[in-house]
Amino acid sequence: MNDFSIKAIRHLESALKSQPDHLPSVVALCEVNFKQKNFSKVRSIIDSALQQFDANATLCFWDAKIKHSQGKSIEASIAIDQAIAIEC
């Protein structure tokens, strides 16, 4: 990861500290950390964000993606079903 990427991640993390309900920052941090296989960080980001949002399909999707990456297929399927229910 280059210096620019590191700075961008720090800015996103800072943005979330001051505005924890900023979904684009949540998603961007999830994407970066997932690509780096830092699943525990993604889990932490999702858990914090779920406290900020009542029902959010995007967060349910990320919850499912992490659960699937951990081999929790049934739990991942439930999270996807929740995301679909929110969107419908």
pTM here is: 0.82
Q: What 3-state DSSP class applies to 87? A: helix
pLDDT digit string (tens) for 59-81? 999 999 999 999 999 999 999 99
pLDDT of residue 74: 97
Domain boundaries, the chain: 3-87
Side chain identity, residue 3: D
Burial 77-86 (b: 16+ CB within 10 A, else e): eebbebbeee
C-beta contacts of 22-26 below 8 A and 24+ residues apart? 23/49, 23/53, 23/56, 23/58, 26/59
Please give the average per-residue pLDDT across 3-22, as a whole number.
86
* Architecture of the domain delimited by 3-87: Alpha Horseshoe (1.25)
pLDDT digit string (tens) for 26-55? 999 999 999 999 999 999 999 989 888 878
